[in-house]
């Protein structure tokens, strides 16, 4: 009987110890969510049932709850690492340079972290053995080479994430035609291509469309670096995509759940971020993004 009583006490103490340990690891799980996330949740748009060609049709995913996110090791900014870097690779014209600067401004608002553009480097850093001609005769670079042999060795002051942007088309392996981008989330590096994002005019509405696509791709990939999985809860910039047309269908906005995940470690001012996004979208004539942010502002004012 004494042995049984001792065993019960030991189990109870162990449970209490585990609870205390979990609470210390993830204290946010024991706190009520910020009312902000409940207020904007009404603006989340439920994803439609996937059809042939959609990402979720061919990649059925389980998603990621807030609890799963908090219990998974992920990158959080610190005083030592809190700057996002963009590395242009190639020869960019004036409008493309402007796009990269606008991406920098957007990422600085989106993640509420200082974002810097590094000095442009030449395409000459890509050797001939990892170049090829694409289906239309365009030059393509092997995306994995850029990650492993260019970006991985780069170390920048207080760098927390590094994304290269190239004007050349990319391919991930010989049997694939192309890829918009590639990332190593463990190494916090990624590369994306601007090549397929516009119809080669880069003017007027085409400039805005290309910019919107680039904002989606860059914020999505860097979001992964900070621990966000593909979102299956709502129309969200963290949705997986199979094509450029599917990218166009999905939102620039982070859904309320993904915003809560990101904010849990970053601790930025949600209202400040929202107002800055409104200003950015307005100044750059991105009507869809502006409308989405205005809807969120209306909800938090009530």
Q: What is the pLDDT of residues 166-193, one digit of tens each?
A: 999 999 998 899 998 899 999 999 999 9
User: b/e string for 290-302 if b means 16 or more Cβ within 10 A?
Assistant: bebbeebeeeeee
Please tell me whether residues 88 and 152 are part of one structural domain. yes
Q: What is the pLDDT of residues 228-281, one digit of tens each?
A: 999 999 999 999 998 899 999 999 999 999 999 999 999 999 999 999 999 999
pLDDT of residue 199: 76
* Range(s) of the domain holding residue 50: 32-74+227-302
If one counts the domains in the chain, the total is: 2
pLDDT of residue 5: 39
pLDDT of residue 28: 59
Reading the block at residue 263, the tokens are 């904010």
Please tell me whether residues 168 and 41 are part of one structural domain. no
Please tell me whether residues 267 and 208 are part of one structural domain. no
In a domain, 7, yes or no: no
pTM for the full predicted model: 0.87
Task: Please identify every residue annotated as catalytic.
Answer: 221
In a domain, 282, yes or no: yes
Q: Above 90 in pLDDT, residue 39?
A: yes
Q: Which residues pair with 133 in a beta bridge?
A: 139
In a domain, 6, yes or no: no
Separation of CA 93 from chain center: 26
Determine the Cα–Cα distance for residues 262 and 282; give it in Å rounded to an integer.
24
In a domain, 5, yes or no: no
In a domain, 1, yes or no: no
Determine the Cα–Cα distance for residues 247 and 73; give it in Å rounded to an integer.
28
The mean pLDDT of the chain is 89
Which of these three, 209, 226, 243, is where a domain ends?
226
Please tell me whether residues 279 and 182 are part of one structural domain. no
In a domain, 188, yes or no: yes
In a domain, 216, yes or no: yes
In a domain, 16, yes or no: no
Q: What is the pLDDT of residues 102-140, one digit of tens each?
A: 999 999 999 999 999 999 999 999 999 999 998 989 999
* CB-based contact 267:31 (threshold 8 Å): no
User: b/e string for 114-137 if b means 16 or more Cβ within 10 A?
Assistant: ebeeeeeeeeeebeeeeeeeeeee
Strand 131-133 and strand 139-142: the pairing is: antiparallel
């Amino acid at each position: 009987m004494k042995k049984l009583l001792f065993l019960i006490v030991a189990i109870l103490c162990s449970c209490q110890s585990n609870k205390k340990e979990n609470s210390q690891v993830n204290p946010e799980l024991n706190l009520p969510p910020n009312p902000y996330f409940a207020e904007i949740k009404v603006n989340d748009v439920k994803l439609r049932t996937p059809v042939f060609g959609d990402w979720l049709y061919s990649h059925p995913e389980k998603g990621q709850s807030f609890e799963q996110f908090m219990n998974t090791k992920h990158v959080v900014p610190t005083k030592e690492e809190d700057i996002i870097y963009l590395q242009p690779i190639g020869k960019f014209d004036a409008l493309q340079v402007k796009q990269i600067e606008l991406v920098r401004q957007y990422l600085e608002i989106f993640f509420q972290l200082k974002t810097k553009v590094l000095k442009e480097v030449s395409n000459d850093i890509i050797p001939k053995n990892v170049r090829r001609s694409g289906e239309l005769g365009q030059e393509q670079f092997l995306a994995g080479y850029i990650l492993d042999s260019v970006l991985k060795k780069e170390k920048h002051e207080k760098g927390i994430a590094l994304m290269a942007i190239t004007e050349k088309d990319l391919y991930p392996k010989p049997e694939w035609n192309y890829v918009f981008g590639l990332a190593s989330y463990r190494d916090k590096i990624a590369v994306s291509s601007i090549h397929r994002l516009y119809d080669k005019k880069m003017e007027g509405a085409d400039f805005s469309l290309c910019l919107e696509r680039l904002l989606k791709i860059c914020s999505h990939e860097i979001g992964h670096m900070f621990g966000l999985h593909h979102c299956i809860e709502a129309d969200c910039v963290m949705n997986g995509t199979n094509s450029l047309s599917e990218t166009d269908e999905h939102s620039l906005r982070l859904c309320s759940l993904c915003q809560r995940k990101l904010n849990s470690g970053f601790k930025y001012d949600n209202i400040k971020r929202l107002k800055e996004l409104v200003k950015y979208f307005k100044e750059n004539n991105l009507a869809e993004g502006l409308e989405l942010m205005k809807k969120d502002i209306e909800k938090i004012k009530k």
